[in-house]
Homo-oligomer: A and B are copies of this chain.
Amino acid sequence: MDYQAVLEQIVQDIAPQVGGGRPAEYIPVLASVDPSLFGMAIAEVDGTVHGIGDWQRPFSTQSITKVFTLALALAQGGDGLWARVGREPSGNPFNSLVQLEYENGIPRNPFINAGALVVTDQLLTLNGDASNELLGFLRQESGNPRLGFDAQVARSESEFGDRNAALAHFMASYGNIANPVPTLLEHYFRQCSIEMSCGDLALACRFLARHGLRADNTRLLTRSEAKQINAVMLTCGTYDAAGEFAYRVGLPGKSGVGGGIVAVVPGHCTLCVWSPGLDARGNSVAGVAALDRFTTLTGLSVF
Contact = CB atoms under 8 A, between A and B. Distances in A.
Nearest to A97: B97
Given A97-B98, A163-B169, A166-B173, A89 B89 contact: yes
Copies of this chain assembled into the complex? 4
Given A235-B234, A240-B88, A266 B303 contact: yes
Interface in A158-213: 162-163, 165-170, 172-173, 181
Contact of A89 (B86, B231, B243, B266): B243
Contacts of A252: 303
A132 interface: no
A92 interface: yes
Chain A interface, >50% SS class: helix
A240 B109 CA distance: 13
A241 interface: yes
Nearest to A267: B303
A84 interface: no
A228 B242 contact: no
A302 interface: yes
Contacts of A90: 91
Contact of A170 (B163, B172, B247): B163
A46 B240 CA distance: 38
Q: Nearest 10 pairs between A and B by C-beta?
A: A91-B91, A166-B170, A162-B173, A88-B243, A89-B89, A230-B303, A166-B169, A302-B302, A165-B169, A231-B246
11 contacts: A87-B244, A88-B242, A89-B89, A89-B91, A98-B102, A165-B181, A166-B169, A166-B170, A228-B250, A230-B303, A231-B303
